[in-house]
Amino acid sequence: MSANSINSISEFLLHAGTEYHVFDLGRRIEPTDNQTFLEIENGSAYAPYPRQQHAWFGIVFWNKNASSQHYIWFIKLPLDEQGLVVAAARNHFLEIIVDALGKSIAEDTENAQQLPDNPYSFVPNQSQLAQFNALVKSTLNHPLSEEAQKVEAYIQAPQLVDWQQISMQSVADFIHGFSRHAKRGVLEEAIKANVALYSDVFVNTLMETSESVSLSDNLLAMYLSKIDDGDDINLAALRGTSEGSFNPTINSKLLDLLKNEKTQRIDILSVIAARHFEQMEPLLLSTFLEQAAKVDEKEGHQGALFAGFFSDLVQIPKLRRQVLTLLHSDANSDILSKAFQRLFAQARK
């Protein structure tokens, strides 16, 4: 197998005799069908969830004729200004894996997962990795960890279970299997009844690992109530209320939040941009960018912070036209108009 005869990562995996699943790890953790991944890596389709000018993927592959061993690659591919994968970078990654592995995947050796150092591999953070592992288990119909039962026990009787014995992975496993749980209704009522008895660490972990699953109305209402339940903003609750489609309840909550000075923080705005782009209809989008402009001005970033959020959001296929329309709108507030003028001025330099 040579780099010259292989034209895509997908082709490499197929030629190596593997079966594989691809997951997008950009703004949420979402399964991506193999044909869509091929189109994205070939630059014939936009990366749907770009982050930091890259497309982020977790690829799980195995050779079922050799063994049951599964391997994982975490790769990030740079995007051009339009949001398409840069072909030269994808080809460079292909050269690296073909040179390093040859047929080792087909032979099912340990080398399959031990890629040499390269600019395209990344290591997910602990929370993202736990969620990814849980989704992979669910997708491949693998049993969830037995420790997930400890989560269920703690939810029902927090006085009798030591929360410190519960791992983040077990919470992620539990929440990713929750929609199919036979006792889902009973457990949701227990969560509502016992939430004040749970450790703050547990509650935050439960909410944070929910950011890529759809919540029931009951759980969503509880999470939303936790976002600003106190003097500060709860970032775990803000992440946990992320949904994969527009939700008017979430949209309304975010609009209210962005009218408050306590959301004038980079970390809060970053979570909203990363996790709640699906809620950004024109009003929320303009409100968000106004808040970003205020933070930029208050902290003396000289337009760099605003420009960063703008370039991040304009690269999302669903938002691109909306962001560009806002850029040229005559109805923008003074602070937003000023921020756009600075953006134009910096672009001309």
- Tens-digit pLDDT string for the chain (349 aa): 444 578 899 999 988 888 999 999 999 999 999 999 999 999 999 999 999 999 999 999 988 776 678 889 999 999 998 899 999 999 999 999 888 876 556 555 556 667 788 999 999 999 999 999 999 998 888 876 778 889 999 999 999 999 999 999 999 999 998 888 889 999 999 999 999 999 999 999 999 999 999 999 999 999 999 999 888 999 999 999 999 999 999 999 999 999 999 999 999 999 999 999 999 999 999 999 999 999 999 999 999 999 999 999 999 999 999 999 999 899 899 999 999 999 988 877 6
d(Cα 347, Cα 249) in Å, to the nearest integer?
A: 37
Burial of 161 per CB tally in 10 Å (0-12, 13-18, 19+): middle
d(Cα 133, Cα 313) in Å, to the nearest integer?
A: 28
> Quick one: the chain helix, strand, coil %, rounded to 5?
55, 10, 35
Amino acid in the structure at residue 202: F
Q: Strand 54-62 to strand 71-78: parallel, antiparallel, or no bridges (unpaired)?
A: antiparallel
- Collapsing DSSP to helix, strand or coil, 31 comes out as strand
Alpha helices in 30-85 (DSSP H): 34-41
Alpha helices in 76-183 (DSSP H): 87-101, 126-139, 148-156, 168-177
Exposure of 280 in the CB half-sphere (CA atoms within 13 A) = 26
pTM of the model: 0.92
Which of 92, 112, 108 shows the shortest CA–CA distance to 100?
112
Helix (H) or strand (E) holding 50: none
Angle among Cα 111, 101, 42 to the nearest 5 degrees reads 120
The pLDDT value given to residue 106:
53
